[in-house]
Amino acid sequence: MSDSNLIDRDAQLLRQLAKGDLRASREITSLYTDQAYRTAYRMTADQMVAEDITQEAFLKLWKAAAKWEAKARISTWLHRVIHNLAIDHLRKTKRFSDAKVPEREDPGLNPYENQALAEMKRSVRSGVVDLPHRQRVAITLVHFDECGNKDAAERMGISVEALESLLSRGRRKLKELLSPDHIR
């Protein structure tokens, strides 16, 4: 489905939601809850806080439904709201988490390969945490949240060219941080 079709679909769902259509509410929740929660969890590394932030973001969406203008996708709007709520939470608690996201083992690998893969993922996550904020957000959106460049740029409120520049600088910095001379 093209971006304009997705924007139109989302606008239609929100118009229906504003009229009290429970089916539209369920569909929006089904389409966007997992992605919203993952974004909140990656930023806070706290399951309960991520759930609260996700719930608060959806409440804001429900309140905005009647005034929704078909300019962006719901996912873009939710990402920005969740990002802001998570940053507010982290500022209030005066902490930025370095907690680990639970790992799943690949059943196709032997235990040693799974251990090596887990170690590599830890190194990459550690490197991403050390990136400047905007580079970290760009890398996270494109490589962890699997957003396309256009969608990631929209979510960050920047041009695709600016996103690509952030990605390029972030990848170079990650390569430097993950080099054998730099690993902690």
Which CATH number characterizes residue 37's domain?
1.10.1740.10
Residues 82 and 117 in one domain: no
Last residue of a domain, one of 80, 98, 116: 98
Total-model pTM: 0.55
Residues 61 and 81 in one domain: yes
Q: What is the mean pLDDT of the chain?
A: 83
- pLDDT tens readout for residues 105-148: 666 777 777 777 777 777 777 778 788 888 888 888 888 877 88
Q: What is the 3-state secondary structure (H, E, C) of 5-16?
A: HHHHHHHHHHHH
- pLDDT tens readout for residues 17-37: 889 989 999 999 999 999 899
Residues 91 and 117 in one domain: no
- pLDDT tens readout for residues 68-88: 887 888 888 898 899 889 888
CA distance 96 to 139: 18
For residue 157, is it left (φ>0), alpha (ψ between -120 and 50) or beta? left
Residues 150 and 177 in one domain: yes
CA distance 170 to 174: 6
Total structural domains in the chain? 2
Domain that residue 180 falls in: 107-184
- pLDDT tens readout for residues 108-119: 777 777 777 777
